[in-house]
Amino acid sequence: MKQYMYIIRGGEEMENNASPEEMQEHMEKWQEWMGDLAQKDQLIGGEPLMNEARSLTQKGQHITDRPLAEGKELVGGYIIVKANSLDEATALAKGCPGFEHDCTIEVREIRLMD
Partner 1 sequence: MNNHHLIQDTLNHLFRQESGKMIAVLIKIFGTAHITIAEDVLQDTLISALETWKFKGIPDNPKAWLYRVARNKAIDIIRKNKHTQHIDFSDTNSNRVLLTSEYTLTTTMDTYWEDQHINDDFLAMMFACCHPKINQEHQITFILKTLCGFSTKEIARAFLTSQDTISKRIYRTKEFFRTQKIKPKIPEKHQLQSHLDTILYTIYLLFNEGYNATHTDELIRKDVVDQALYLCHCLVQHKQTQLPQVYALMALMCFHTARLESRISIHGNLILLKDQQREKWDQELIATANYYLNKAAFGSHLSSYHLEAAIAYQHCIAKSYQETNWAMILTYYDLLYQQQQDPIIFLNRCLVILELQGPLIALKTVQKLSSSKQIKAYYLYHAILGEIYHRLQQQAKASTAYQKALSLTQSKIEKAFLKEKIEKL
C-beta of 46: minimal distance to partner 1 in Å?
Answer: 5
Contacting residues toward partner 1, per CB under 8 A? 27-28, 30-31, 34-35, 38-39, 41, 43-48, 77, 79
Q: Rank residues 57 and 84 by Cβ distance to partner 1 and give the closer one.
A: 84
Closest separation in Å from C-beta 94 to partner 1: 17
3-state secondary structure the chain: CEEEEEEEECCHHHHHHCCHHHHHHHHHHHHHHHHHHHHCCCEEEEEECCCCCCEEECCCCEEECCCCCCHHHCEEEEEEEEECCHHHHHHHHCCCHHHHHCCEEEEEECCCCC
* Comparison of 47 and 65: residue with beta carbon closer to partner 1: 47
Minimum distance between the CB of residue 89 and partner 1, rounded to whole angstroms? 17
